[in-house]
Amino acid sequence: MIGAAGGHAADVIVIGAGVVGLSAALALTARGRQVTVLDRAGPAAGASAGNAGAFAFTDILPLASPGIFRKAPAWLLDPLGPLSVPPRYALRVAPWMIRFARACAPSRVAASTTAQTALMDLSRAELEGFLAATGTSAMLRRDGNLQVYESKAEFQASLPGWDARAAHGIAFQHLDPAGMAAIQPGLAPRFLRGTFTPGWFSIADPRLYTLALADRLIAMGGRIEQAEVTALRPLDSGVRVATSAGIRRAANVVLAAGAHSHRIARTLGERIPLETERGYNTTLPPGAFDLRTQVTFGGHGFVVTRLSTGIRVGGAVELGGLTAPPNFRRARAMLDKARAFLPGLDPSGGTEWMGFRPSLPDSLPAIGPARATSRVVFAFGHGHLGLTQSPGTARLVADLVTGRPAALDLSPFSPQRFSRF
């Protein structure tokens, strides 16, 4: 503990009570640190509640890639399509889009794929031990994922990506309509080919999982408090944390505040190009469809997932910032497509949701110390993969804070990597 007048002192403060922040807090608690988690809205209030619930360890290819870059212009023409940028936000997001375009260069895609693969491997290796230690093993599902294609051309375009996965030893099966029907009955006949990935895990419900992590942290002696962190400042023996509830001090700080992280990092002098991918979904009642595996409609940018609490239809990307009101027409457009793609789907009784995915231009998170002080560790920017990469990120954060060698090379994830461009 660091004693200081004028503010409550803590050993480690973790900023963010989403799945990444709570996982890191639990990993640090397991190593004997006293942890307090601060969050502006409480546990599981953001993207950790409304995601698709997948541990997508086979998803090693970065979003920033030539294939996505080629598709983007056509997608942008459809305001309700897989990718949209509201006109009022276009100028503001332009610098991020330029960085994204640079990250699509083949040499940078290769480097990002190598780094992504290493973090996926670590996260998968850590997952089951983490679930056992937190009492959440019963929530893990092993239903796999079925990616479907509407044309021979779409399927052929996917093959280089599957070749890359095969080179890493990832198992999959290419299927014809009969093979797809054996795994997932009820698909519309428009889908001519599919690829099934059996090693794709999921969680019963991401919100309930994140809340279970919060409960486990409290049971282990940790604290969770609702307060908005507004600034960080290095001290000789720790970090000063300015919050809406007053000044705090800690020996170490972990910044894992998702889409709000870059604002706090800026108070330390770091300008990290984090952008907000606004994702939408509709969660239908559990009996809405006989879903047996997660189904990905990649050409349309969304997935359909079976949760313990219902059938979730969601995805897509809206680069629209943190303050604009939700455009739930996007959720309804995906639900309309899901009705056409799964003819037996009952669309009634759904709950709509919008959340913020924190994304960096090269599709890799920022994991590492702040430039101003090694007592602040950044752990944010996981994009679509926060749940997937949370066990590995927790291990890396615990290594950094406790002074152990990191479990993998952290240079590709350096928070300062963008200062070169």
Composition of the chain by helix, strand, coil, percent to 5: 40, 25, 35
For residue 67, what pLDDT band results from cuts at 50, 70 and 90?
confident
| Neighbour count for residue 199 (Cβ, 10 Å) | 17
Contact (CB, 8 A) for 295 and 337: no
Is residue 4 domain-resident?
Answer: no
Per-residue pLDDT, 3? 31
Is residue 292 domain-resident?
Answer: no
Is residue 259 domain-resident?
Answer: yes
CATH number at residue 373: 3.50.50.60
Give me the domain span that covers residue 243: 10-64+105-140+201-274+360-420
Q: How many CA atoms lie within 13 A of 107 on its CB side?
A: 1
For residue 80, what pLDDT band results from cuts at 50, 70 and 90?
confident
378-412 pLDDT, tens per residue?
A: 999 999 999 999 999 999 999 999 999 999 999 99
Reported pTM: 0.94
Give, as one character, the DSSP assignment of residue 189: T
Q: What is the DSSP track for 31-82?
A: TT--EEEEESS-TT-SHHHHS--EE-TT--S-SSSHHHHHHHHHHHTSTTSS
Count how many domains the chain has. 1
Is residue 136 domain-resident?
Answer: yes
Per-residue pLDDT, 77? 60
Judge whether residue 329 has pLDDT over 80: yes
Judge whether residue 256 has pLDDT over 80: yes
Once rounded to an integer, what is the mean pLDDT over residues 338-363?
96
At residue 394, φ and ψ (nearest 5 deg) are -60, -40
Mean pLDDT taken over the chain: 93
Is residue 190 domain-resident?
Answer: no
Is residue 80 domain-resident?
Answer: no
Per-residue pLDDT, 65? 76
Is residue 321 domain-resident?
Answer: no
**Which residues, including other chains, have CB under 8 Å from residue 183's CB and lie 6 or more apart?**
144, 146, 175, 194, 196, 292, 293
For residue 8, what pLDDT band results from cuts at 50, 70 and 90?
low
101-118 pLDDT, tens per residue?
A: 899 899 999 999 999 999
15-61 pLDDT, tens per residue?
A: 999 999 999 999 999 999 999 999 999 999 988 999 999 999 999 98
Per-residue pLDDT, 182? 98
Per-residue pLDDT, 261? 97
Is residue 398 domain-resident?
Answer: yes
